[in-house]
Structure 1
Amino acid sequence: MTISITNEFYELMSKVNFNVYGILDAQNQIHTLGTDSKIIGRIFEMFTQPVLLKIAEKHNYILETPESQTLYPDFIMMKDKTSKDKIAIDVKTTYIDNDNSKIKFTLGSFGSYMRNNTKNIAYEYTDFSKHYVIGFIYKRNGSAQESYQYDYKFKDMVVFPYYDVEYFIQEKYKIAGDKPGSGNTENIGSFPTNNFADLKNGNGPFSILGQDIF
């Protein structure tokens, strides 16, 4: 039986402070980050991993990351490597300009492991019984310094690169839409909404139609 991680995730993540100054080097110099979305996305992954590790340890599960960054998923939670009840967890981030902006995520390929059981995935697709997405939504801070350098004692001069962070955890099929995520790609797109609660509650079309239809 697969464990449910949702409630524990929210409880632990609520204690996380997302403010970051930058990268601290060996000479106690802070290098600021700017608003590059790839860097910010990696930061949210780094905040997420310790939370998932605590959940895994509580249930005597293993938390594993694939050897290659090109493989799905970002994190795997499992009893052991032979388990057929593995939990796939992907971390996705996106930013919005204001509270009325459309929220968009790309949720991975529908042309690889979903069609071919072993393509671009750690283990086999049929080894996983749950597929979760942890989504982070934020607003970019246009005043954030990019590639500035500060002595650590002046850290309070650093402008944080983002604000108004919101997050959710939901099964992938419940937030997926029925259109590709971008252009002519084979990426799954999230269903269109400007309401964060729709994503947190998993109000996508397949939440009614079911995972098999997805």
Structure 2
Amino acid sequence: MPRTIRISEEEREELVAEIDPEFPKYTTQIMNTANQNSQGTRPATVGQLNEIIEEYKQEYPNGDFEDWKRFYFDEYDGEESIEEATDKVFEMVVKMREAAEEIDREMVNRWVKDLVLYKTYNGLGRTEEAVLKKLSEEYGVPYELGTAEDESKGIDGYLGDQPVSVKPVTYKQKSRLQEDIQAPIVYYEDYSTTDALKLDLEELDEVLG
């Protein structure tokens, strides 16, 4: 099996940056979160950067960082956009700082219990039900959750009269663990950057079309 490694968006920026300003430890994580919450660097504020950089590369194929900065500032009011984004992110940093001051160990303990105990327990079967409900809409048939006996056979529910199994894509990679499931399997995979699911409908399409 080919070996793979992962480079985060933040690390990628650091690896290729021509100017790499140093920030105190943890501050970039806080600012990244503040930026996500405030949407400070969304295209509405700073422009569609992937398109702008392509335009820059066509105009300055041998340009350097200073050329890029000048192009962005001159052609897209970059200084004004950066100031607007800065205001949005800093406002959220202030709010997060105020919220952080309210966090004590007891609150962290409650949060960990909620995450490890309640949310884990409450999430049992929720993914399967969400997938079945989505498939019900996709194929235009009613869905029903499986019984305990069905689950013992690997069947999570029904679309009309058709039994269906819902499994993470890792199950497929493990050759189904030699389990014999007498139903089409819908594999789901988490997108890496969102909470969305990617569904593989190949087996189900064969029987429901």
Structure whose CA Rg is larger: 2
Of Structure 1 and Structure 2, the greater strand share is in 1
With the length of structure 2 as denominator, give the TM-score of the two structures: 0.30
* Greater relative contact order (CA < 8 Å, ≥ 6 in sequence): 1
Of Structure 1 and Structure 2, the greater helix share is in 2
